């Protein structure tokens, strides 16, 4: 692995050096000018059309419905088609049978890996390891580009502070700073600083903007947000992706300031193009234009014109552009310049991807055979998955387990391959994914025995279970009674030395259109867990989830909890690596776990209010709190245990004051005070004590993942500059305001050392 990682790093370094030498190809503009002179209005509008792919049958691509449209020049690209044979077949129609032979662009939801699948993004973010995250996107790009795909609908950088929202699983958690770092790493991994190099794919940042703030966590719901929160919290990750050179961006389904993003000129033109200087193209989300009819913005012609005028360039699926723009132009509702501008941006993307030079550039048999699901990629997926796990509890060092004796593996998620890759893994092969059972058996060989029982269904309600296991993720519902399933589980538990309970959410219980109002483990599984704990045997809960869950009973009663999210194709092996201590867990939460759903939204970077609660109290009359639950979360942002322990010294500051152009260095000595080697994510937070607008009680400003041998100590330093303290003020200007600041360093957002300095 080390060699692989080093080679990858060298590759990334060379690519980074290459970027400075890279300029826009001077031949691009004349080429596109000449092409556009030949294009009819219909052909220009055709480039803006991204229809659903339908069912493309290789031998009949030319005669299919989509084939007919391609021949007419009415299709700019297609998406979510897998296999170079199919992609080649439709591309052939475009470049041989359409009048101008313009190649198509092929997109896909390559979200957390391609065939080699990495942890879901929320899990990946918990690694806090930008190199691993970038590497996962690089590998995804290598595999996708070997299989016909040159454009991915990723990264998803929607900040979310609402675990009810199923798509929290697809983003990077609650924090804008961390979210921005990950956005940049993902774009760099996909695009590799050069879209034309053959193994890059174009990134599409989504869902712009504030999709993660849907009211009540219900997917697609209204967003009602003030501009300061947008600027300070929700927009930074999209901007970071744009700054990293993302080639495209996807408008979100939700409204912003009363106008759906898809028709929102402020978002798509004023902020994105004018303020941020975005040069790529904007695509809608799936039928995003048509959905503006239901939002109450007019009929199809009106909403299509609204979208184009706002700054949309490509229409996904709905064909509003294709069917109405010509009429709108004739009626003066849109301009030819706007159509031309959009068309040019799509053609530029194709040019940059090298499709005009070779339309089959991403359809090479050799690469499809050799570059996908390689041993090196599989190894990377395994390492990355283990880094994403978060150890939430480990009483009496139950973990790691010994590789001996008899282990009872119990739970509906213990013997399923289909639920390992996680939501939105379009290109994965379920059959190749490693279940927990297989992972444990691989690790144990003949040294120990694994006994398995399902123990319960996913949920008592079969309709719920059906809705939560779509897209081939079925769990083979067991028609025995709950008692029969439990009896079987207890029988094997009683023969075992230790119990691993593989429970939680199925992979489709989070993701798109999978919001939940109750964010606990389903009751039937909780009953099973309680019965297992009652046996008195040590129980390790291997928890699958795509969102923060409410785990009060579990925290109180289960000896060990390892949160494994959905780890990707190698999940089972990675779980075994951590459970048996071959890997020491080092993941830290990037999203707060509440005590109950009534606390939502709950996040570390909240404001103080005028009536803050004294931290040590549960309740004080006339303070901001609840009668029935403390203000504190169950597990805070940044939290995660290890098989070793780390201690922090007090903070040493290089100066007590910071000038506008200077810096302050904050240093702690970190010690691995336990008995095992391990890594710690050291986190730096600041607090601006007085501002022209109210400021959060803590803001993440830096982090370093530090590996220390048992007993080893190291100084860890962070440099703080005035720029790091900037925020958007009431005029939406980024400013660092002079005054007193606190600085915190620690192993979570609550467990920190503290010091103070002044910005002059
Ligand atoms: C999702 C997007 C996705 C698109 C295309 C939509 O339903 O919101 O995230 O990229 O479908 O598959």
Residue among 512, 513, 514, 515 to mutate when testing ligand 1 (max atoms within 8 A of CB) = 512
Q: Say yes or no: 568 and 648 in one domain.
A: no
CA dist 544 and 413 (Å) reads: 8
pLDDT at residue 13 tops 60: no
- Please tell me the predicted confidence (pLDDT) of residue 6: 55
pLDDT tens column, 672-715? 999 999 999 999 999 999 999 999 999 999 999 999 999 999 99
In a domain, 131, yes or no: no
Report the CATH number that the domain containing residue 739 is assigned in CATH. Answer: 2.60.40.10
Query: Which domain, by its residues, includes 698?
Result: 644-759
Residue among 79, 166, 285, 510 to mutate when testing ligand 1 (max atoms within 8 A of CB) = 285
Tell me, letter by letter, the H, E, C secondary structure of 135-175: HHHHHHHHHHHCCCCCEECCCECCCCCCCCCHHHHHCCCCC
Q: Say yes or no: 649 and 572 in one domain.
A: no
In a domain, 196, yes or no: no
Residue with tokens 């691009």: 28
Ligand 1 and 153: CB distance under 6 A: yes
Q: Say yes or no: 575 and 648 in one domain.
A: no
* Short-list 328, 422, 347, CA closest to 381: 422
- Please tell me the predicted confidence (pLDDT) of residue 337: 98
Q: Say yes or no: 566 and 652 in one domain.
A: no
Q: Name the closest-CA residue to atom 10, ligand 1.
A: 153
In a domain, 389, yes or no: yes
Ligand 1 atom at minimal distance to the Cα of residue 156: 9
- Look at residues 526, 552, 579 and tell me which one is the last residue of a structural domain: 579
pLDDT tens column, 357-394? 999 999 999 999 999 999 999 999 999 999 999 999 99
Of 51-55, 370-374, 607-611, where does mean pLDDT reach its minimum? 51-55
**b (16+ CB within 10 A) / e for 714-753:** eebebebbbebbebbbeeeeeebbeeebbbbbbbbbbebe
pLDDT band at 150 (very low <50, low <70, confident <90, very high): very high
Ligand 1 centroid to Cα of residue 285, in Å, is 6
- Please tell me the predicted confidence (pLDDT) of residue 215: 98
Q: Say yes or no: 648 and 571 in one domain.
A: no
Ligand 1 and 224: CB distance under 6 A: no
Ligand 1 atom at minimal distance to the Cα of residue 250: 10
The string of DSSP codes covering 638-657 is: T--B-SS-EEE---EES-SE
Q: Say yes or no: 437 and 548 in one domain.
A: yes
The string of DSSP codes covering 280-334 is: SEEE--TTTTTHHHHHTS--HHHHHHHHHHHT--BEESS-HHHHHHHHHHHTTSS
Q: 686 has which bridge partners?
A: 699, 743
Residue among 50, 81, 153 to mutate when testing ligand 1 (max atoms within 8 A of CB) = 153
pLDDT at residue 10 tops 90: no
In a domain, 297, yes or no: no
Q: Say yes or no: 752 and 650 in one domain.
A: yes
The string of DSSP codes covering 207-254 is: EETTGGG-GGG-TT------HHHIIIIISHHHHHHHHTT-SEEEE-SS
pLDDT at residue 617 tops 90: no
Q: Say yes or no: 504 and 427 in one domain.
A: yes
Ligand 1 and 341: CB distance under 6 A: no
In a domain, 166, yes or no: no
pLDDT band at 12 (very low <50, low <70, confident <90, very high): very low
Tallying the residues shown for the chain, one arrives at 760
- Look at residues 579, 597, 630 and tell me which one is the last residue of a structural domain: 579
Ligand 1 and 158: CB distance under 6 A: no
Mean pLDDT of 197-206: 98
Report the CATH number that the domain containing residue 498 is assigned in CATH. Answer: 3.40.50.1700
Q: Name the closest-CA residue to atom 12, ligand 1.
A: 109
- Please tell me the predicted confidence (pLDDT) of residue 60: 78
**Residues catalogued as catalytic:** 285
Ligand 1 and 109: CB distance under 6 A: yes
Of 16-25, 78-87, 110-119, 251-260, where does mean pLDDT reach its minimum? 16-25
- Look at residues 548, 579, 610 and tell me which one is the last residue of a structural domain: 579
Mean pLDDT of the chain: 96
Ligand 1 atom at minimal distance to the Cα of residue 206: 9
Total structural domains within the chain? 3
- Please tell me the predicted confidence (pLDDT) of residue 56: 77
Q: Name the closest-CA residue to atom 5, ligand 1.
A: 286
pLDDT tens column, 452-502? 999 999 999 999 999 999 999 999 999 999 999 999 999 999 999 999 999
Q: Say yes or no: 428 and 539 in one domain.
A: yes
Q: Say yes or no: 552 and 677 in one domain.
A: no
Q: Say yes or no: 544 and 648 in one domain.
A: no
In a domain, 575, yes or no: yes
In a domain, 441, yes or no: yes
Ligand 1 and 170: CB distance under 6 A: no
* Short-list 372, 508, 482, 476, CA closest to 432: 372
Mean pLDDT of 123-128: 98
Ligand 1 centroid to Cα of residue 252, in Å, is 9
pLDDT band at 15 (very low <50, low <70, confident <90, very high): very low
Q: Say yes or no: 393 and 532 in one domain.
A: yes
In a domain, 448, yes or no: yes
Ligand 1 centroid to Cα of residue 613, in Å, is 42
């Amino acid at each position: 692995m080390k060699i692989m990682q080093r080679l990858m790093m060298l590759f990334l370094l060379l690519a980074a050096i290459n970027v400075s030498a890279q300029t826009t190809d001077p031949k691009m503009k004349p080429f596109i000018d000449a092409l556009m002179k030949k294009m009819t209005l219909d052909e220009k509008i055709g480039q803006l059309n991204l229809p659903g792919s339908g069912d493309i049958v290789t031998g009949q691509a030319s005669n299919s419905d989509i084939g007919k449209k391609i021949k007419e020049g009415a299709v700019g690209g297609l998406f979510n088609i897998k296999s170079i044979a199919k992609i080649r077949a439709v591309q052939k129609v475009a470049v041989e049978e359409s009048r101008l032979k313009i190649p198509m662009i092929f997109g896909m939801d390559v979200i957390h890996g391609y065939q080699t699948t990495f942890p879901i993004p929320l899990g990946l973010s918990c690694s806090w390891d930008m190199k691993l995250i970038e590497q996962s996107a690089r590998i995804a790009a290598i595999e996708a580009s070997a299989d016909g795909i040159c454009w991915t609908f990723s990264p998803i950088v929607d900040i979310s502070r609402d675990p009810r929202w199923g798509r929290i699983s697809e983003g990077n958690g609650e924090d804008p700073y961390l979210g921005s770092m990950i956005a940049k790493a993902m774009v760099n991994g996909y695009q590799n600083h050069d879209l034309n190099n053959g193994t890059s794919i174009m990134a599409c940042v989504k869902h712009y903007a504030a999709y993660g703030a849907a009211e009540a966590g219900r997917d697609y719901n209204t967003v009602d947000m003030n501009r300061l929160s947008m600027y300070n919290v929700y927009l930074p990750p999209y901007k970071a992706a744009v700054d990293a050179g993302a080639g495209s961006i996807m408008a979100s389904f939700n409204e912003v300031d009363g106008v759906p993003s898809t028709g929102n000129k402020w978002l798509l033109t004023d902020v994105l193009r004018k303020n941020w200087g975005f040069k790529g193209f904007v695509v809608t989300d799936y039928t995003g234009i048509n959905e503006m009819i239901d939002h109450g913005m007019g009929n199809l012609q009106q909403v299509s014109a609204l979208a184009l005028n706002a700054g949309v360039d490509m229409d996904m699926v709905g064909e509003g552009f294709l069917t109405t723009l010509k009429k709108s132009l004739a009626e003066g509702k849109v301009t030819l310049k706007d159509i031309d501008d959009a068309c040019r941006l799509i053609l530029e993307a194709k040019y940059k991807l090298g499709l005009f030079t070779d339309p089959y550039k991403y359809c090479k048999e050799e690469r499809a055979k050799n570059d996908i699901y390689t041993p090196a990629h599989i190894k990377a997926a395994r390492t990355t998955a283990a880094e994403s796990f978060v150890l939430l509890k480990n009483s009496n060092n139950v973990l790691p387990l010994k590789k001996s004796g008899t282990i009872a593996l119990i739970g509906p998620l213990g013997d399923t391959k289909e639920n390992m890759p996680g939501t939105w893994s379009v290109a994965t092969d379920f059959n190749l994914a490693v279940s927990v059972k297989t992972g444990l058996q691989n690790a144990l060989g003949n040294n120990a025995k694994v006994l398995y029982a399902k123990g319960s269904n996913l949920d008592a309600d079969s309709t719920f279970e059906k809705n939560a296991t779509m897209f081939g993720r079925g769990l083979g519902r067991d028609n025995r009674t709950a008692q029969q399933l439990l009896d079987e589980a207890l029988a094997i538990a009683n023969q075992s030395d230790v119990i691993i309970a593989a429970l939680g959410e199925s992979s489709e219980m989070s993701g798109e259109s999978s919001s939940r109002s109750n964010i606990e483990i389903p009751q039937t599984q909780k009953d099973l867990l309680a019965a297992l704990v009652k046996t008195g045997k040590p129980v390790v809960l291997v928890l699958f989830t795509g969102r923060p869950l409410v785990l009060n009973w579990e925290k109180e009663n289960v000896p060990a909890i390892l949160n494994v999210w959905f780890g990707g194709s190698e999940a089972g092996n990675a779980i075994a690596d951590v459970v048996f201590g071959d890997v020491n867990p080092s993941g830290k939460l990037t999203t707060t776990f509440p005590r109950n759903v009534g606390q939502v939204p709950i996040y570390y970077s909240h404001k103080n209010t005028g009536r803050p609660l004294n931290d040590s109290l549960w309740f004080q009359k006339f303070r901001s709190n609840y009668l029935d639950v403390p203000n504190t979360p169950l597990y805070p942002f940044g939290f995660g245990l290890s098989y070793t322990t780390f201690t922090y010294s007090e903070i040493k500051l290089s100066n007590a004051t910071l000038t506008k152009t200077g810096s302050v260095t904050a240093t702690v000595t970190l010690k691995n005070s336990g008995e095992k080697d391990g890594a710690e994510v050291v986190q730096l937070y600041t607090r601006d004590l007085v501002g022209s607008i109210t400021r959060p009680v803590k803001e993440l400003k830096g982090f370093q993942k530090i590996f220390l041998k048992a007993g080893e100590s190291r100084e860890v330093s962070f440099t703080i500059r005035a720029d790091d303290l900037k925020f958007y003020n009431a005029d939406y200007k980024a400013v660092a305001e002079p005054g007193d600041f606190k600085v915190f360093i620690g192993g979570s957002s609550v467990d920190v050392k503290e010091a103070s300095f002044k910005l002059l």
